[in-house]
Amino acid sequence: MQQGERPPSRVRRQQASSLLDWLVRWQGATPTSLKVERRFAGEGLGWCLVATADIEPEEVILSVPLTAAITSEGVDEGRWSTHMAAELLRRQAAAAAAAAAEAGGVAAAMSAAPWLDALPAHVDLPWLYWSDAELAELQDEDTLAEAQHMRGVLETACEELAGSFSRQQVAWTLSLVHSRSFAQAGRHVWVPGIDMANHTLAPNATIRCLQSPGSCQGAAALDEVCPPDTAAAAAAEPSRFELVAGEQGIAAGQEVTISYGSWPSDVFLLFFGFVPADNPHDSAVLFYDLFDLQTFKARLAAPADDWEPDWPAVEAAVQQLEAQLGPGEQYIRMVATANGLDSRLLQAAQALLAVGRGSPDGRTPLSVPQFVALRCRQLLAAYPTSIADDEALLRQLESGGSAAAAAAAAAAAASAAGGDEQLRAEQLQTAVRYRLGKKRVLQATLAAMGDV
Ligand SMILES: C[S@@+](CC[C@H](N)C(=O)[O-])C[C@H]1O[C@@H](n2cnc3c(N)ncnc32)[C@H](O)[C@@H]1O
């Protein structure tokens, strides 16, 4: 499959499958009488977990032994997702073989088939399924670079699994691994059943891992303090992953949701394939590193538009700045968020401006808010489209679900961007929502700086 090639239909419209029954009956999940069921929430969200009875505050909703999960335990971090993708594909092959060998038998019933049947046919991760033209609509160099890096993960996984699995299978599995795993205690964990919980900003449930004594470093010591039978039983009890109701409990009929983390929209887009609406944790990178910071300051004092940095001078100034700031912090990707400025940015800008030659006229010292405001203005002006353009395009793309209007808007956007490649309306909509979030952070930062 090539980048941008259309994947299979977006969401598998399976029946509310027997996934939860299978977890309880064959995988040791508890409680045996569950108060949740899987329901289809719509094309955007896919499936979700819904409470079928009132759930008490802090009640365990679903507890799954890690023996049912796929993890990256003991695997080099560089290939965690390839390892987990290969494991899912292996379970898929085993389920198919068990079904063919003994329809209705125990091996078939125990196989991962109910879990596999419950998985979406497609999760639209940009680095797996978007074309270059669609990625360019994000208008963010940093995220484009990350998407290119992630494309390398696909290539490496395809090479490693070639011969056994097709490119399309590998892409599908990677999209699932990345969008359904939790990073926990230095490993990645993908837990069937709990992977059905969607994200909200105000979740009503959380997840936790109950570590079994057998998986602890001190497990061997148990033999010395317990009778051997007790120690063996403790060691045999697997660790468990649990979905637990929050402090308010959950009323019957409510969706059970968790937080995937307080991430900027980049993480949601690249790893989960969606951009949360009004994400308060979104951020905009103001400076990539101290070179970027120093070059911006030098440019402010430069008279001509065709000014080029004097690199040896910039390098010397950066070294001086590094010496001033001292070791211990990495001054990279310094961001603005809705909650204010990155403390590293404040520190670095204060140190930089302390020498007092940062102003446009080269004489008057700039304040940090003035400096940051000038940067926000510069970044906003550098985008190929304005906030007003994006808002208008988004309205068009969202207009009453009209596919024709959305397609026309996508075609117009492509030609405005100077490209002849067809953009898909859904991907363009996600990209516009993403870039609008970044621009709004910059605009809010500008306002917070006093719009100087
Ligand atoms: C862990 S799975 C959750 C179950 C999933 N909805 C399903 O159909 O199987 C994560 C995926 O659900 C979808 N999702 C979860 N929360 C979402 C949200 N707030 N908005 C849009 N999509 C969401 C995204 O496709 C994401 O990659």
Residue nearest to atom 23 of ligand 1 (CA): 45
Whichever domain contains 66, its CATH number is 3.90.1410.10
- Best residue among 274, 278, 427, 430 to mutate for probing ligand 1, ranked by most atoms within 8 Å of CB: 274
Looking at the structure, tell me whether residues 181 and 60 fall in a common domain.
yes
Q: How many angstroms separate the alpha carbon of residue 353 from the centre of ligand 1?
A: 45
| Long-range contacts from 14-22, C-beta under 8 angstroms, 24+ separation | 14/117, 14/118, 16/40, 17/114, 17/117, 17/118, 18/114, 19/114, 19/115, 19/117, 19/118, 19/192, 19/193, 19/196, 20/62, 20/193, 21/114, 22/109, 22/114, 22/115
Amino acid occupying residue 204: N
Q: Ligand 1 centre from 228 Cα, in Å?
A: 45
Q: Which residue's CA is the nearest one to ligand 1's atom 18?
A: 199
Q: How many domains does the chain have?
A: 3
Token pair for 121: 């046919």
**Cα 36 to ligand 1 centroid, rounded to whole Å:** 17
| Ligand 1 mutation target, pool 14, 15, 45, 84, most atoms within 8 A of CB | 45
Identify whether residues 367 and 417 lie together within a single domain: no
Contact 374, 300 (CB under 8 A): yes
Same domain as 292, residue 244: no
Tell me the CA distances in angstroms from 440 to 64, 75, 279, 386, one per residue in order. 41, 40, 11, 10
pLDDT at position 222: 41
Indicate whether 347 belongs to any domain: yes
200 dihedral zone (left: phi>0; alpha: psi -120 to 50; beta):
beta
Between the CA of 403 and the centroid of ligand 1 the distance, in Å, is 23
CA terminus-to-terminus distance, the chain = 50
Q: Cβ(199) to ligand 1 under 6 A?
A: yes
Q: Among all chains, which residue has been given the structure tokens 């799954």?
A: 64
- Residue 228 within a domain: yes
- CA 132, CA 138: separation in Å to the nearest integer? 10
374 and 242 in one domain? no
Residue 180 in contact with ligand 1 by CB distance below 6 A? yes
- Please indicate, yes or no, if residue 8 is contained in any of the structural domains: no
Residue whose Cα lies nearest atom 20 of ligand 1: it is: 45
Specify the 3-state DSSP secondary structure of 284: strand
306 assigned to some structural domain? yes
Reported as type and span, the H/E element at residue 210 is strand 205-210
Question: Quick check: CB of 120 below 6 Å from ligand 1?
Answer: yes
Amino acid letter at 220?
A
Shared domain for 109 and 255, answered yes or no, is yes
Q: What is the pLDDT of residue 13?
A: 42
**What number does the ligand 1 atom closest to the CA of 195 have?**
1
Based on the fold, state whether residues 76 and 179 are members of the same structural domain. yes
- Specify the ligand 1 atom closest to the Cα of 271: 27
The whole-number pLDDT of residue 223 equals: 46
Residue 53 and residue 137 in contact, taking contact as beta carbons nearer than 8 Å: no
On whether both 227 and 186 belong to a single domain, the answer is yes
Do residues 114 and 224 both lie within one domain? yes
Contact 81, 178 (CB under 8 A): yes
Is residue 254 situated within a structural domain?
yes
Which of 177, 199, 267 for mutating ligand 1's site (highest number of atoms within 8 Å of CB)? Answer: 199
Q: Which residues of 367-402 are buried (b: 16+ CB within 10 A; e: fewer)?
A: bbbbbbbbbbbebbeebebeeebbeebbebbbeeee
336: helix, coil or strand? strand
Instruction: Among 382, 414, 437, identify where a domain stops.
Output: 382
Domain C-terminal end among 230, 261, 292 = 261
CA 400/CA 167 separation, integer angstroms:
36
Kindly state whether residue 267 falls inside one of the protein's structural domains: no
Q: Within a domain: residue 151?
A: yes
From the CB of 260, is ligand 1 less than 6 Å away?
no
Q: Which two tokens stand for residue 246?
A: 């929050």
Pair 366, 392 in one domain: no
**Residues 125/178, Cβ–Cβ less than 8 Å:** yes
Query: What integer pLDDT is reported at residue 204 of this predicted model?
Result: 98
Per-residue pLDDT tens digits of the chain, which is 452 residues long: 444 444 444 444 444 458 999 999 999 999 999 999 999 998 889 999 999 999 999 999 999 999 999 999 999 999 999 999 999 999 999 998 888 887 667 777 788 999 999 999 989 999 999 999 999 999 999 899 999 999 999 999 999 999 889 999 999 999 999 999 999 888 999 999 999 999 999 999 999 999 876 654 444 444 444 455 555 555 568 899 999 999 999 999 999 999 999 999 999 999 999 999 999 999 999 999 999 999 998 888 776 777 787 888 888 888 888 888 888 889 999 999 988 999 999 999 988 887 655 555 556 678 899 999 999 999 999 999 999 999 999 999 988 656 666 677 777 776 676 666 788 999 999 999 999 999 999 999 999 998 65
Q: Is the peptide bond before 31 cis (omega within 30 degrees of 0)?
A: yes
Domain that residue 123 falls in: 19-261
What is the predicted pLDDT for the residue at 213? Answer: 65
Check if 296 has its Cβ closer than 6 Å to any atom of ligand 1: no
- State which ligand 1 atom lies nearest to the alpha carbon of 273: 27
The beta strands (E) that lie in 296-375 are given as 334-337, 340-341
Shared domain check, 91 and 150: yes
CA distance 113 to 27: 13
CA of 268 to the centre of ligand 1 (A): 10
Closest Cα to atom 27, ligand 1: which residue?
272
Pocket of ligand 1 contains residue 179 by CB under 6 Å:
yes
Answer yes or no: is the C-beta of 125 below 6 A from any ligand 1 atom: no
- What is the residue-wise DSSP string for 238-269? PPEEEEEE-TT-B-TTPEEEE---S--HHHII
Q: Is the shortest distance between the CB of 195 and ligand 1 below 6 Å?
A: yes
Judge whether 180 lies within some domain: yes
Residues near 369 by beta carbon (within 8 Å), at least 6 away in sequence: 449, 450, 452
CA distance 207 to 238: 17
Q: How far apart are CA 404 and CA 411, in angstroms?
A: 10
Quick one: 85 and 203 in the same domain?
A: yes
Residue 84's contacts (CB-CB under 8 Å, 6 or more residues apart) are 70, 71, 72, 177, 181, 188, 190
315 and 222 housed in the same domain? no
Coil/strand/helix, residue 428:
helix
Alpha carbon distance 115, 21 (integer Å): 10
Amino acid occupying residue 76: D
Last residue of a domain, one of 382, 407, 439: 382
Phi then psi for 144, rounded to 5 degrees? Answer: -60, -40
The closest of 82, 34, 51 to 253, measured between CA atoms, is 51
